[in-house]
Structure 1
Amino acid sequence: MKYINLMLLFLSAIALSIFLQWTGMVMPWLFGAMIATVIFYRVVTTDFHYPKWFGNLGLVIIGAEIGSTFTLETLADMAEDYITIIMLSLLIIGLSLLLARLFMKMTGCTLETAVLASIPGALSQMIVMAEEEERADLLLVTLTQMSRIVLVVIFVPFIASFTANSDGISTNEMVPSLTSAATPSMLWMLPTVLLVIYIMMRMKFPVPYMIGPMLVVLIWNVVTDYTFSVNISFMYAAQLLFGIRIGIQISTLVNQLNGRLILSMMIQNMLLIIGTLGLVMAFLLISEHNFTNLFLSAAPGGIGQIIIVAVETGANIAMISSYHIFRIFFILLVVAPLINLLLKRNRKRRHA
């Protein structure tokens, strides 16, 4: 019965996505899958099992699309843009830490919980640190981080859609699709992707199912200069698979939240999005980038969700992913160790 219900869920998600695409809605396959899943979960039945690898397959497709946008030319352009990348990333993280104080006052949580709940773009790392920190509320950290992803998926596409395609065409629009460009020599990428994903998982690196294929395709582009783009039908499938996963997360989140927590998370995350808008508007005065590209580069969400928005709005995927990848590395290599050090000092001070 579980498999029949899962099949019905897929059919419902596909039908609603097609309808939303017909109405002209932004990101119809992602939102269609999300909405259909929430309705199915809340109204029809919860008696189905959604394999984790379905959502991961969606991430692999998205990762391949990100990698396909990186060429020698785009890498050279990004190298010239390193100051903006660093400054904008630092300001977003700084804004998040400022809002942690407000979140602490609204929820009455500990400083440890507020800080770990506020850092954007490194959900898995923050959850692991919350597990190790005795004064951190693991449930609240997880719910806040996940709710931010949901809010970003809901609000960011609508904000970005107002200036979508202001540069004319998408970065990948002029290169052939994967199915038309495929050659036997490209088959080596499949086992290589699996190997890189495995290595990154062993290293506990965030989003290995996306970063792994991205790196493999990026290296292919740089070494061979034989570029391609992922077929739009594959991207629809990725959005569908990923949207169902997010829909399930939304449905389970609702059962664990009360009114005060929902309001606190909404205020904190909306202020973060509004603050990001303000920073982007300021950077537009000194930058040659357009609003859509810069806003999506700075948006405080997971790289998977943001790249889907970038694909749908025809934005510069290579630029946007480079900003988010830098932020992930910076959080993992600098911010997380610093936070961990501060939390350890607080623990020693309390036990002294």
Structure 2
Amino acid sequence: MKVLRLLLLFVAAAIISYGLDALGMILPWLFGSMIATIIYIRLIPRALYFPRWLGDLGVFIMAIEIGSTLTLDALADMRADLFNIFLMTILVLILSLILSRLFIFLTKSTPETAVLASVPGALSQMLIMAEEEERADILLVTLTQMSRIILIVLIVPFVSGLFQPVSDLTADPVEVNYLTEIFSLPMLIIPIAAVVLIYLLNKINFPASLMLGPIIVLIVWNLTTGVEFSLDLQFINAAQILFGIRIGLQIASLMTQLNKRLIFSIMLQNLILIFGTMFIVYMFQLFTSHQFNDLFLSAAPGGLGQIIVIAIETGGNIAMISSYHIFRIFFIIIVVVPIVGYYLKYLNRKRKRQS
């Protein structure tokens, strides 16, 4: 019976997600599964059977897709503008970490919650770390990160539309084969090596090992074999459903803690981050030849998929904007995530010594 109830939730999540997708909702499969889970918990009082390995499988699939984006072409695009990409990424991250102090003041949350809620463009990675960190409020982290995506979609197109480039600087995105089109037996080494690496990273207590393991393996694969691929949309949607159900279960148990103060704090922090990024871009433009529209979309603290859609609609430089965001994704995952992880462990050790 518990398996049948779980299958019922999967069906509900797929139907709601498909409906949101048809309506043009952002991240429909992630949000749809979270909405379905929260509704399910409210309507059906029986405990939901959802084994942890299913949520982990969703994270594993998403990590493979993220890793597959770092191709040789993406590296070539980054190399020409590497210093600008690095500096812009650092400035936006510094701004977000400064705002984490404001977030602590407004919400009375822990430093762990504030840091994980503030890092931009890293929804999945920060939620995974929030799950692992017992002093982090996953509801606050989730709502802050998710509301930022919504605000990005509402605000960024308007701002970007005011500064559309005067010349056509767009570049067609590179076509990449889907996994099912080029799959061969040697490619089985990818999930096997990823599982082994996850195990080894867990042994040394490395942060977010479930996400980093597949990504590192895909980086090595792309750079050594030249066989590039993207996961089929069905795999990505299924991964978002699995991950969304896991997060939805956690949010459903914490919804009673939400109040007007928290809503105001979340909105204020995200708005300051977005418009603070605009100021950074304005100052940055004084020293470069890039269009404001391209720089703003490159720096905007949102997901790669949403930003690229906006860039296409406003005539942005797709190659440049993609390279900035891909660099930030990997910089956050490979550099920021471990640093944040060790910082949170430092806070725990310090707290234990003082107690």
TM-score normalised by L of structure 2: 0.74
Tell me the equivalent position of 2:265.
264
Alpha carbons of structure 1 residues 168 and 39: separation in structure 2 relative to 1, 3 Å:
farther
Deviation at 1:130, TM superposition (A): 7.7
Alignment of 1:309-324 (within 5 A): 309=306, 319-324=324-329
Give, in angstroms, the shift of residue 192 of structure 1. Answer: 0.8
Aligned residues: 334
Kindly provide the amino acid, as one letter, of the partner of residue 155 in structure 1. Answer: L
After superposition, residues 180-191 of structure 1 pair within 5 angstroms as 180-191=181-192
State yes or no: 1:192 paired with 2:193: yes
Which residue is 1:69 aligned to? 69
Deviation digits for residues 90-130 of structure 1 (CA, Å, limit 9, x no counterpart): 222332343244334434568x5786466525748986998
- State how far apart, in whole Å, the 1-side matches of 2:57 and 2:128 are: 22
Provide the residue aligned with 1:201 in structure 2: 202
Which residue is 1:27 aligned to? Answer: 27
Q: Which amino acid aligns with 1:326?
A: F
Q: How does 1:1-352 map to 2 (within 5 A)?
A: 1-45=1-45, 47-107=47-107, 116=115, 119-120=118-119, 121=122, 123=126, 138=135, 142-158=138-154, 167=170, 169-171=172-174, 174-280=175-281, 283=284, 286=288, 288=290, 295=297, 298-299=300-301, 306=303, 309=306, 319-331=324-336
Contact (CA 8 Å) 2:113, 2:140: kept in 1 or not?
no
Indicate the percent of aligned positions where both proteins have the same amino acid. 34
Change (3 A) 1:194 1:5: same
SS in 2 for 1:31: helix
1-side partners of 2:307 and 2:197: how far apart? 25
Q: Which AA in structure 2 matches 1:299?
A: P
Distance in 1 between the 2:48 and 2:247 partners?
Answer: 15
Amino acid at match of 1:188: I
Decide whether aligned partners of structure 1 residues 281 and 242 sit closer, same or farther in structure 2, where only a CA change above 3 A counts: farther
Q: CA deviation at 1:294?
A: 5.9
CA RMSD of aligned residues (A): 4.0
> How far apart, in 2, do the equivalents of 1:289 and 1:246 lie?
38
- Aligned AA (2:277): T
Structure 1 residues 334-343 or 275-284, which shifts more?
334-343
Q: What TM-score do the two structures reach when normalised by structure 1?
A: 0.75
Rate the CA distance shift 1:148–1:345 in 2: closer, same or farther, 3 A: same
The amino acid of 1:227's aligned partner reads: E
What are the superposed Cα offsets for residues 137-195 of structure 1, whole Å, 9 maximum, x if unpaired?
x35x554333322323443455567779x946544xx1221111011222222211111
Contact in 1 for aligned 2:59/2:243 (Cα 8 Å)? yes
Gaps of 5+ in 1: 132-137, 301-305
The answer to whether the 8 A contact 1:71-1:221 is kept is: yes
Structure 2 spans left out of the alignment, 5+ residues:
162-168, 313-317
Residue-by-residue CA offset, 1:188-237 (whole Å, 9 max, x unaligned): 22211111122223333333333222222222222121222211222222
Structure 1 Cα separation of the partners of residues 279 and 51 of structure 2? 40
Please tell me whether the aligned partners of residues 178 and 229 of structure 1 are also in contact (alpha carbons under 8 angstroms). yes
Q: 1:157 to 1:296 in 2, by over 3 A?
A: farther
